[in-house]
Amino acid sequence: MSDINGLKEIVRAENLKKTFSISRKQRRIEKTDLTRKVAVNGLSFSAYGGEIYGLLGPNGAGKTTTLRMLSTLIKPDEGDAFVMGHSVCKEAARVRDCMGFMTGELKLEGFFTPDYLFDFFGAMHGVDKATLAARKKELFTRFGIDRFAEVRVADLSTGMAQKISLVVSIVHDPEVVIFDEPTNGLDVLTAKVVTDFLLELKAMGKSILLSTHIFSLVEKLCDRAGIIIDGRMIAEGTLEDLCGDLSLEEKFFEIYHGIKGDVL
């Protein structure tokens, strides 16, 4: 692991590649004979403790696939990634131990209450009861969940359910937190709570990775960012290095048009 500016490298992706098969119908539409589509193509980057790293790209660029590989839900076809020094390919359980992953595709059983689910996921991560109780009190108070602790998730508002998903994903106080489109579908109040919390986590020295296509979110939160287009890392660095005198949006479209032409 290499460190920069006194920050410790927590996540390192090395030449990650992931392909998916394409249906015959889709091949006809895309007028291709290729049976597999490359979703992520040789992606490499590092994220450090105490920083927020953003993966920025349009829909279908490979952001979510990359985060799913890092969270060990899917395996890379080639390459590897290391979280706290553990390989996502060879030490998946250890990686999951030190990581919190939150995405819209992870749902909570509506039948259960936040209190039950927090305890359940605490047990899944092997958190001891005393720590779990203290952490529950802290997080439930912080997010205003305490008043709804015994209400079934199915009966809660979307914003509150999202907050519960957030606290459940970090029940084990992970060193690395991965968020796929963290503010998607949230109202402005809940979105603010989430973004404020990400900054708090950063201040606590955690390493945060997020994927988004919202420029303002990257500008507001991220210390460094990588621009992904068609599964490739096109540009990477601090916002200053990336943008120069341009805004992030202007820089992104400059890069995008440079690669894809005028196609939007």
Closest distance of CB 85 from other proteins, Å:
16
Between 175 and 227, CB nearer to other proteins: 175
Closest distance of CB 98 from other proteins, Å:
9
Residue for token pair 């989430």: 194
> How far apart, in whole angstroms, are the C-alpha atoms of residue 160 and residue 181?
17
Q: Which residues of 21-43 are buried (b: 16+ CB within 10 A; e: fewer)?
A: ebeeeeeeeeeeeeeebbbbbeb
Q: Kindly identify the residues of this chain, within the stretch 97-136, that bind other proteins according to CB under 8 A.
A: 97, 101, 105-109, 121, 124-126
> How far apart, in whole angstroms, are the C-alpha atoms of residue 257 and residue 192?
32
Q: Which residues contact 209 (CB under 8 A, 6 or more apart)?
A: 11, 47, 52, 53, 54, 55, 67, 70, 176, 177, 178, 179
Q: Kindly identify the residues of this chain, within the stretch 171-190, that bind other proteins according to CB under 8 A.
A: none
Closest distance of CB 39 from other proteins, Å:
12
> Pattern of binders to other proteins over 194-233, x per CB under 8 A?
----------------------------------------
> How far apart, in whole angstroms, are the C-alpha atoms of residue 105 and residue 247?
31
Cβ atoms < 10 Å from Cβ of 130: 8
Closest distance of CB 180 from other proteins, Å:
11
**Cα angle value 215/67/128 (rounded, 5°):** 115
> How far apart, in whole angstroms, are the C-alpha atoms of residue 219 and residue 71?
25
Between 73 and 235, CB nearer to other proteins: 73
Between 109 and 138, CB nearer to other proteins: 109
Between 37 and 125, CB nearer to other proteins: 125
- Using rule CB under 8 A, residue 30 touches other proteins: no
Token output for 198: 């990400």
Q: Would you say 219 and 244 are in contact if contact means Cβ atoms under 8 Å apart?
A: no
Pick the binder of other proteins from 52, 70, 166, 168 (CB under 8 A). Answer: 168
Closest distance of CB 105 from other proteins, Å:
6
- Using rule CB under 8 A, residue 163 touches other proteins: no
- Using rule CB under 8 A, residue 96 touches other proteins: yes
Residues near other proteins (CB under 8 A) are 71, 73-75, 93-94, 96-97, 101, 105-109, 121, 124-126, 168-169
